[in-house]
């Protein structure tokens, strides 16, 4: 994307005046790190840990998901075990498994919620309207799908785009956590409340989680992953007023990449 297109997007989103390099949230609570000031190297919040049910108490499909996901040694194996997994009813109604798109070696990984109609038809994440907005958002900070890997918490489309049930989330989560562990990203972006809740095990809403880096412990990875929860593009399509916050988060992401991953 050229500079003019990026500028148009910024103007459309309300960034109509250049006062500073990053917005300052003057209403933020004193105990909350200010937007744009979270250090790129040291994530702001203490590590949080995903809380899959302990093996003994997990329902059958969740237990099986944990076992087969843990056994996958490569992304190809993980895709294959997901394709053969019959413990999630969503697999039966979906047209395609939606596994991932982009570059698994880039060091940056994005996680959305689950496929919609277009993604289900094509078999790739974020190719419908919210994906097109996401592509424009990423392009505005110089990113495209060769520079990141994108996947979803739920790899099969819920019928009629309904929300996935808690059991479906719990069953799919081990595959996502294994996916993240196999990729080993240096930066993780969680798009929307569902992915953020599942991966961080936090009950805090996305509007309060976004705007700062947190450190998330992923089973199988040696160190917590710096993680940025962001608003979901589908939400941004419905909520024009939220685009300023999304732009602030994109700036946080760009700054962190500039500081730590200059090849991106």
Question: Shortest Cβ distance from residue 154 to ligand URA (Å)?
Answer: 8
- Binding of ligand URA at residue 113 (CB under 6 A)? yes
Question: Shortest Cβ distance from residue 34 to ligand URA (Å)?
Answer: 28
- Binding of ligand URA at residue 130 (CB under 6 A)? yes
**The binder of ligand URA chosen from 131, 174, 193, 229 (CB under 6 A):** 131
Is residue 241 a contact partner of residue 260, using CB atoms and an 8 Å limit?
Answer: no
Two tokens at 213?
Answer: 């880096």
Tell me the number of residues near ligand URA by CB under 6 A. 13
Candidate segments 7-15, 58-66, 83-91, 119-127, binder of ligand URA by CB under 6 A: 119-127
**The binder of ligand URA chosen from 43, 50, 114, 164 (CB under 6 A):** 114
Residue with smaller CB distance to ligand URA, 52 or 131: 131
In angstroms, the CA 192 to CA 205 distance is 9
Q: How many CA atoms lie within 13 A of 77 on its CB side?
A: 10
Query: Per-residue contact track with ligand URA, 218 to 257, x per CB under 6 A?
Result: ----------------x-----------------------
Number of other CB atoms surrounding residue 44 within 10 Å? 16
- Binding of ligand URA at residue 152 (CB under 6 A)? yes
Residue with smaller CB distance to ligand URA, 89 or 123: 123
Residue with smaller CB distance to ligand URA, 170 or 231: 231
- Put the strands of the sheet holding 225-230 in their side by side order: 45-48, 214-216, 225-230, 187-191, 108-112, 149-152, 101-102
- Binding of ligand URA at residue 148 (CB under 6 A)? no
- Binding of ligand URA at residue 119 (CB under 6 A)? yes
- Binding of ligand URA at residue 101 (CB under 6 A)? no
Residue with smaller CB distance to ligand URA, 112 or 211: 112
Is residue 166 a contact partner of residue 125, using CB atoms and an 8 Å limit?
Answer: no
- Binding of ligand URA at residue 52 (CB under 6 A)? no
- Binding of ligand URA at residue 115 (CB under 6 A)? yes
- Binding of ligand URA at residue 156 (CB under 6 A)? no
Residue with smaller CB distance to ligand URA, 100 or 181: 100
Two tokens at 196?
Answer: 């953020």
Candidate segments 107-115, 163-171, 180-188, 235-243, binder of ligand URA by CB under 6 A: 107-115
**Residues at the contact surface with ligand URA, assessed by CB under 6 A:** 112-116, 119, 125-126, 128, 130-131, 152, 234
């Amino acid at each position: 994307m050229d500079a003019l297109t990026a500028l148009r997007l910024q103007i459309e989103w309300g960034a109509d005046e250049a006062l500073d390099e990053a917005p300052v949230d003057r209403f933020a609570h004193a105990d909350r790190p200010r937007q744009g000031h979270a250090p790129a190297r040291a994530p702001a919040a203490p590590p949080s840990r995903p809380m899959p049910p302990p093996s003994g108490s997990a329902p059958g499909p969740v237990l099986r998901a944990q076992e087969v996901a843990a056994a996958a040694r490569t992304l190809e194996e993980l895709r294959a075990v997901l394709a053969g997994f019959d413990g999630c009813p969503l697999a039966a109604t979906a047209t395609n498994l939606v596994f991932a798109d982009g570059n698994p070696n880039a060091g940056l990984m994005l996680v959305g919620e689950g496929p919609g109609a277009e993604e289900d038809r094509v078999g790739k994440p974020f190719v419908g309207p919210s994906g097109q907005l996401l592509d424009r958002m990423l392009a505005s900070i110089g990113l495209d799908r060769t520079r990141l890997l994108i996947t979803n918490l739920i790899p099969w489309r819920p019928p009629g785009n309904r929300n996935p049930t808690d059991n479906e989330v719990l069953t799919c989560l081990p595959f996502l956590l294994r996916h993240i562990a196999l990729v080993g990203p240096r930066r993780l972006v969680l798009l929307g409340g569902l992915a953020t809740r599942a991966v961080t095990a936090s009950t805090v809403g996305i509007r309060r989680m976004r705007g700062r880096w947190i450190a998330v412990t992923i089973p199988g990875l040696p160190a917590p992953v710096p993680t940025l929860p962001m608003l979901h593009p589908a939400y941004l399509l419905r909520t024009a007023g939220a685009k300023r916050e999304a732009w602030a988060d994109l700036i946080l992401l760009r700054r962190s990449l500039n500081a730590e991953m200059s090849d991106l």
